[in-house]
Structure 1
Amino acid sequence: MKPYLRLLTYLRPHWLRIALAMVCMQIYSVAQGAGIFLVGPAVAYLFQPKTFDAAGIRLGKFHILESVMGFFGGDFLPVLMASIIVTFTVKGFADFGQAYLMGDTAQRVLRELRNKLFRHLEALPIRYYTRSSTGELMSRLTNDVALIQGAVSDAVAAVLRDASATIVLIALAFAMDVRLAFYACFIFPVAVYPVMRLGRRLRRASRKRLVSTARLSTLIHETLRGIRIVKGFGMERWEAARFAEENQSLYRTNVKAIRTKAAVTPLNEFLSAVGFAVALWYGHSRIAAGTLRPQEFITFFVALASLYPYIKKLASINNVVQEGLAGAVRVFEILDERPEPADRPHAIPLDRVARGIAFEDVSFKYDDAMVLRGISFEIGVGEVVALVGSSGGGKTTVANLIPRFYDVTSGRVVIDGRDVRDYRIASLRREIGIVTQQTLLFNDTVANNIAYGEIRRTREEIEAAARAAHAHDFIMRMPEGYDTVVGEGGVRLSGGEAQRLSVARALLKNAPILVLDEATSALDAESEAEVQKALENLLANRTTLVIAHRLSTIRHADRILVIRGGEIIEAGRHEALLAAGGEYRRLYEQQFRDESRPPTAELY
């Protein structure tokens, strides 16, 4: 029940709308009861108008009709006609009011929950995304949140509306005849246990359904994202088989949930039938004994017939709540994840970089695996320091520690003599430009992709950055120039063109610290040469850490660090490291022995 109570806290800011909806629900319930109360007198009047006695029509001790008929000269027909029109009109407007107000409230809650969930996803550390799939997170943000709507809107509205209608109708029944009402309503408590048990089964089935839906979403995302690989390796049938298997799993979980939900209906019908049968038996015995008039029993029976659907709705709404809870639990699992470390209480902004970056005996552990061990080096202002080494050595981890995508396990990373954890995260990352091997472009225009993070820049500044990145010419050849939409992930661009847009983005940001993570390793020779020209402009007067795969591109770096097994084993300039005959020379000779093309143009 705790997840549902937590979910209901999101309704608190909307208490006024809910209060107005409750007023509408009460009006609806009273109008419903008034309409049912009129049935008995109407039947008596229509079939026996001459012997009709309004004084005999009472609700408890109150002779309501007799007092109302005084305003119409004692004629009951105008009273009946006016009552029907007023009652059903009021009932209709009240139902509209509660439906609109609760529906609007539910959409507001879902909007706020989606926004909160999305903001929280953005705030989660990079580490979280290494163990979570994109399809899974997308499913939780869409399918799971959508499922919550029933628990927030339908369930709350039904409980308030149907419960109030139930109370009014039960009160009407007891006011008319206490014993008859008792015999008719004894079955209600009996229905509670099986309904609750079925509800718990439905929650488990709904959770399995959401998990299966998430797996299916992940499979779809991966297949469509890698459709070129799928087609290139002729794996269409394999992926279709995987999809069919996952789809079959989703079908089974859906059918199980449907079966559990459907089981509530025959249960409710049986219990309702028992209640009706008992009420008929007892009502017949009372009429035969002359202690109950037929028109009174008709009114009571109509009230009972109107009551049972509300009881069944209340029983069925438990299904909606349980399904919503299954979604809420999965959403709250994400919201309960710890976000990135907050700024320290006395953190200061990083305004400029005057002395450079230093790693001081840095070690880093990912889960139980030690990735870096005692790393120490410095990058002076305006210097270019390159990291090289075999895959898995820890190069990218070093780069990720500077913008605090991860925090060190021990030691510290400092900028201008101060631990990076003492700077405000936003200001720290504002001073760092990043160009990676995997260029991320959004399904937006060329101009907006270049200006990402610098959205207030003018078109002239955007074009200047593109010229410096050697991208302006190919941009102008595109159908709409800077207003051309590049497609999801930049699919309409070549690798070199996409990378030059990434460089232009970094140039526009104009950050004093630059991290290049194998920025040219995935390009062909011609594209790499174009990107290297762009990078030459980007590197000017910046403090730069380069992770290099192609060693020919870092010959003129101020310092080259060779990392293996999470430790720096060699450091120096290109010529000195070659002369030393160590790991760097081995990597260099192996690379040019394995590569079929000559070394590309030097970058540093």
Structure 2
Amino acid sequence: MNNFKKIFPFLIPYKKYAYLNIFFNVLYALFGTLSFVSLMPMMDVLFGQSKKNYTVPSYKGIWELKDYISDSLSYYLTAITDLNGIGYTLSILVAGIITIFLLKNLSDYMAMFFITYLRNGILRDIRNAMYKKTLELPISFFSEKRKGDTISRIAADVNEVQNSFLSILELVVKEPLTIIFTIVTMFTISVKLTVFVFIFIPVSGYIISLIGKKLKKQSTKAQEEQGLFLSTIEETLGGLKVVKGYNSESYFNGIFQNSTNRFFSLSNTIGNRQNLASPMSEFMGIMVIAILLWYGGHMVLIEHSLKGAAFIAYMGLAYNILTPAKSISKASYSIKRGNAAAERILEILDQENTITSKIDAIDKNSFDSNITIKNINFKYEDEIVLKDFSLEVKKGHTVALVGQSGSGKSTIANLLTRFYDVNEGTITIDGVDIKDMDLQSLRGLMGLVTQDSILFNDTIKANIALGKQDATDEEIIEALKIANAYEFVKDLPLGIHTNIGDSGNKLSGGQKQRLSIARAVLKNPPIMILDEATSALDTESEKFVQVALENMMQNRTSIVIAHRLSTIQKADSIVVMQKGRIVEQGTHDELIALNGTYNKLVNLQSFE
């Protein structure tokens, strides 16, 4: 139960609903037992077995409470019958039975009514906590996990824990109290018959638990809302670099929480309607009932040790044990499944975030002189990627990183943005170690354009405004013009308010890339990181994108990771990398004159 103890804090905001649920469950157990007992005086009157009692009973202690209640009831029934007739007495008894059954079912509904808010509240809060943690955790955590697995934890596993909380409350309060009250009442009616029946009840309860079916009803609207926030989760995980790079965690967190709030409201409505209808599945324990009829009938007809009315009420009480016994068996199984689900949830919630801002982090909002990478070493798990790597990038300069795949080019971009931390060495901006800088202010200095154009299922305006969410339409259009993208955006049906589909699939590769560039332009950072921004494009699209990149890089410090060498010939410095080290460095003309690795790469691409 340790996992549930860790989940327990999510219950605290809804403790009033838990208390109300427990209160009405106690009432339900009490009225559920009384509903069968109340049939006894009714049947005594019907069968003419009610005894006349003209003496006011006196209370003689707890051990004779049963006789006192029985004598008091017969006294008042005798007085009412003598005064108003047997028909009036029957009316009073029927009204009493209806009232008790009404109170029983009302208590059951109210208990389920309050637990619905508790369950759905816990569901919403755990999901929100997991999504927030997903945004905060470093990219390295998700590089080792499947996106679908994370989505499953946030969706299915959280659902399982939610249902398990309900099972625990049933297991602890409702069903045990129903069984206890029923057993005590059965013993007061007949100790002998109760001992006999307890040989068969557990077996019957186990059989019922095996074949009982749990009915589930689903709402179309709730399912659509669930699909929406699952889509948001998947897109967030797919575009985590952009979300983090543009400090948009709070924006996506807001979208997600709005969706889960709508799902919360829908779930409450659906749950309460289901509870009002009280759909139940029951299995008739015919063998137990048959044995009870045989043995109890023997006591009534042959031994005359039990009255007929008492036996009929006893039969109802015996059946009353089967349903909670079945529920306890189901709840026990549900708790086991919920415990496994809680373990998977806690793996994410308890995960330590290694890349965070220090308590006294420096809030740096400007870039003044240079970026210095000094003697850094880095490895992914056991794979060494960078070895004793050093580089200086001066303000206003464009530095290009080239080399074969696996040489460590993209790793430099990941380290500069602190998607990963170096193992050894330092990276400084204006002499300040990036580990000492506030994480959001660090990423606020940088614009990121990646090889894969990471776009979200939203409008063009929303996609571009990630880094500046208060941007006006005019600012967005200006950014689109600089990125050489307005020419196609203006022809779309709704212009910048056009939805571009899942991952921007309504657009071509070149169009998507130009929107990514426009997003970086609008953010207007002093440092631009281009991670193979044109490598996935065809020649025609590359020309449009290259013009956009050149427009964007004017008067900025740019670090360009390039696959196509034709795009970086104007760079102030070209760094040639091989197996995590710098093998050549200089301008395009200088490196060509060296007739070394860079010249071979240029000749190879020219040949292709």
Give how far 1:29 is off: 1.6
Residue of structure 2 in register with 1:308 after alignment = 322
Q: Sequence identity, in percent?
A: 34
Q: Which blocks of at least 5 consecutive residues in structure 2 are unaligned?
A: 58-63, 211-229, 239-280
Where does residue 161 of structure 1 map in the other structure? 174
Residue in 1 that maps onto 2:261: none
Separation (CA, whole Å) in 2 of partners of 1:174 and 1:515 = 80
Spell out the pairing of 1:169-248 with structure 2 (5 A cutoff).
Answer: 169-185=182-198
1:364 aligns with 2:378: yes
1 CA distance for matches of 2:573 and 2:67? 97
TM-score where L is the length of structure 1:
0.81
> Would you identify which runs of 4 or more consecutive aligned residues in structure 1 move more than 6 Å?
52-58, 188-196
Shift of 1:90: 1.4
Q: 1:183: how far off?
A: 3.5
Aligned with residue 150 of structure 1, among 157, 160, 163: 163
Bigger shift: residues 159-168 or 374-383: 159-168
Select which of 507, 516, 533 maps to 2:521: 507
Please show how residues 277-292 of structure 1 align to structure 2 within 5 Å. 277=291, 281=295, 284-285=298-299, 288-292=302-306
Comparing 75-84 and 530-539, the one that deviates more: 75-84
> Is 1:548 aligned to residue 562 of structure 2?
yes
Q: Provide Cα deviations, 1:522-563, integer angstroms capped at 9, x if missing partner.
A: 122222121122112211222211101111211121111111
Q: Does the Cα contact within 8 Å between 1:185 and 1:275 map onto a contact in 2? A: no
Question: 1:103 corresponds to which residue?
Answer: 116
**Corresponding residue number in structure 2 for 1:59:** 66
Per-residue deviation at 1:343? Answer: 1.7
Amino acid across the alignment from 1:299: A
The 3-state SS of whatever aligns with 2:362 is coil
- Give 1:42 deviation, angstroms: 1.6
CA contact (8 A) 1:44 1:295 kept: yes
Q: Write out aligned runs for 1:245-256 (5 A).
A: none
Question: Quick one: which of 436, 455, 460 aligns to 2:474?
Answer: 460
* Residue from 323, 336, 352 that aligns with 2:337: 323
Partner residue of 1:112 out of 104, 125, 143: 125
Contact 1:353–1:512 (Cα < 8 Å) also in 2? yes
Name the counterpart of 2:548: 534
Distance in structure 2 (CA, Å) of the matches to 1:343 and 1:312: 52
The farther-off stretch of 154-163 and 361-370 is: 154-163
Matched, 1:87 2:100: yes
- Mean Cα deviation higher: 305-314 or 381-390: 305-314
2:46 counterpart SS class: helix
State whether residues 489 and 496 of structure 2, in contact with CA within 8 Å, keep that contact through their aligned partners in structure 1.
Answer: yes
* Cα distance between partner residues in 1 of 2:312 and 2:205: 28
Give the deviation of 1:49 after TM superposition.
6.4
Q: Compute the displacement of 1:188 (Å).
A: 6.5
Cα separation, 2, equivalents of 1:98 and 1:278: 32
**Shift in Å, 1:283:** 7.3
CA 1:314/1:60 → structure 2, altered by over 3 Å: closer, same or farther? Answer: farther
Q: Note the C-alpha offset of 1:453.
A: 2.9
Question: Could you tell me whether the CA contact under 8 Å between 2:179 and 2:324 is conserved in 1?
Answer: yes
SS at match of 1:311: helix
Going from structure 1 to structure 2, the CA distance change for 1:585 and 1:21 (only over 3 Å counts) comes to: same
Q: CA deviation at 1:377?
A: 0.7
**Residues matched between the structures, number:** 531
Letter in 2 for 1:96: Y
Partner of 1:14: 14
Give me the CA root mean square deviation. 3.2
- Per the TM alignment, residue 191 of structure 1 is displaced from its structure 2 partner at its CA by 9.0
- 2:37 alignment counterpart: 37
CA distance change for structure 1 residues 54 and 477 in 2, over 3 Å: closer, same or farther? farther
CA distance in 1, matches of 2:551, 2:310: 94
Structure 2 match to 1:255: none
Partner amino acid, structure 1, of 2:526: P
Amino acid at match of 2:93: L
Which amino acid in structure 1 is aligned with residue 29 of structure 2? S
CA–CA distance in structure 1, aligned partners of residues 314 and 426 of structure 2: 80
Displacement of 1:579 = 1.0
Q: Give 3-state SS (helix, strand or coil) of 2:390's partner.
A: strand
Amino acid paired to 1:535: L
1:404 aligns with 2:404: no
1:491-526 per-position Cα deviation (integer Å, ceiling 9, x unaligned): 111111111111110011111111000111112222
Runs of 5+ in structure 1 lacking a partner?
199-216, 226-264, 595-604
C-alpha distance in 1, partners of 2:459/2:325? 56
8 Å Cα contact 1:343/1:424 also seen in 2:
yes
Greater mean deviation of Cα atoms: 524-533 or 352-361: 524-533
Separation of aligned partners in 2, 1:189 and 1:553: 78
* Match in the other structure for 1:201: none
Shift of residue 306, structure 1, vs aligned partner: 1.3
Report the equivalent of 2:501. Answer: 487
- Amino acid corresponding to residue 90 of structure 2 in structure 1: L
In the other structure, the counterpart of 2:249 is none
Other structure's SS at 1:451 match = helix
Give the CA deviation at 1:148.
Answer: 2.8
What is aligned with 1:522? 536
Partner amino acid, structure 2, of 1:83:
G
Aligned letter for 1:32? G
**One-letter amino acid of the structure 2 residue matched with residue 311 of structure 1:** A
